[in-house]
Amino acid sequence: MKDQPDNPSPKIGDNERRPQARVSEEDLERVCRAVADLFQAGDNAPSLDDSLLGLDWSLFHPRKFPGLDEDRTLLTPPEFRNYALSALDAYATALLDGDPSNRPGGTLHCTCSLRQEANGRLEMELKTDSCRTNTSWRTVMVNLLNSFPKLLTARGIKAGEIAYLREGNYMKFAYPGQMVVSRSCYLCNRPLELWPSVTLVLPVTAELVERAKKITECLQSDRAGDGVVH
């Protein structure tokens, strides 16, 4: 006869299920408050899918402050960082397709910055420092305003109204996240001239231009009804 354990674990049958502990209203409120604090501080990082252009995210560089690497108040908020990566991916795609000046052999230099308007509203600002050409700025503007919003949607960003300024193909839209300046240790005491940004410096190749064109064409067609680019 086999030895039996001194304290055998009780078996739980269908009629012997253990009751689940009930979450109190206080506990639920505490969890919700903690989640809200996380979002308002900017510590939440939205999901980040693969780049539309097939780029490695290591090519995107958050702003650095030499000698102040340990200063937490000057770090890039995780929420802004991921939104900036997605926005730059969409912006670079729009530029490669919509600006005839971006030919293979050149370099695309784009920056996405976080800014605060006088009314306190946060905004995402994008611009390019690519070399100037004789390309009609009106053509570029129309192309960007047609494709950029769709590309942002494909990246999971609801931008709303998008403004365009001629110089530097400057574009801006309301910040899509939930970060609040007064509640974020990254922003509340940060001088405006030291606010975060992310930069992409991208050598332009024929393959990148062709992929950008295919992506925008796909988004303009009925095949892109689900907002997914294959």
Q: Is residue 95 part of a domain?
A: yes
Alpha-carbon distance 71 to 91, whole Å?
30
Per-residue pLDDT at 100? 72
- Asked whether 90 and 52 are in contact (CB, 8 A), the reply is yes
- Check whether 1 has a pLDDT greater than 60: no
Structural domains in the chain (count): 1
Expressed as residue numbers, the domain containing 102 is: 72-208
Q: Is residue 224 part of a domain?
A: no
Q: What is the pLDDT of residues 24-56, one digit of tens each?
A: 766 556 655 655 656 677 688 888 999 999 999
- 98: number of Cβ within 10 Å: 23
| 3-class state of residue 96 by DSSP | helix
- Report which of residues 213 and 17 the model is more confident about: 213
- Check whether 222 has a pLDDT greater than 60: no
Q: Is residue 229 part of a domain?
A: no
Per-residue pLDDT at 129? 82
Angle at the Cα of 121 from the Cα atoms of 118 and 123, rounded to 5 degrees: 105
Find, among 177, 205, 223, the residue nearest to 92 by Cα.
Answer: 205
Angle at the Cα of 174 from the Cα atoms of 70 and 153, rounded to 5 degrees: 100
Q: What is the pLDDT of residues 113-159, one digit of tens each?
A: 999 998 889 999 999 986 555 567 788 889 999 999 999 999 999 88
**What mean pLDDT do residues 188-214 have?**
94
Per-residue pLDDT at 225? 44
Q: Which helix (H) or strand (E) holds 97?
A: helix 78-98
- Asked whether 135 and 144 are in contact (CB, 8 A), the reply is no
Alpha-carbon distance 159 to 181, whole Å?
19
Q: Is residue 19 part of a domain?
A: no
Q: Is residue 35 part of a domain?
A: no
Q: Is residue 217 part of a domain?
A: no
- Check whether 106 has a pLDDT greater than 50: yes
Angle at the Cα of 153 from the Cα atoms of 148 and 155, rounded to 5 degrees: 95
Q: Which two tokens stand for residue 124?
A: 């995402």
Range in 59-63, 141-145, 173-177 the model is least confident about = 141-145
Q: Which helix (H) or strand (E) holds 217?
A: helix 206-220
Find, among 156, 171, 165, the residue nearest to 229 by Cα.
Answer: 156
Burial of 43 per CB tally in 10 Å (0-12, 13-18, 19+): middle
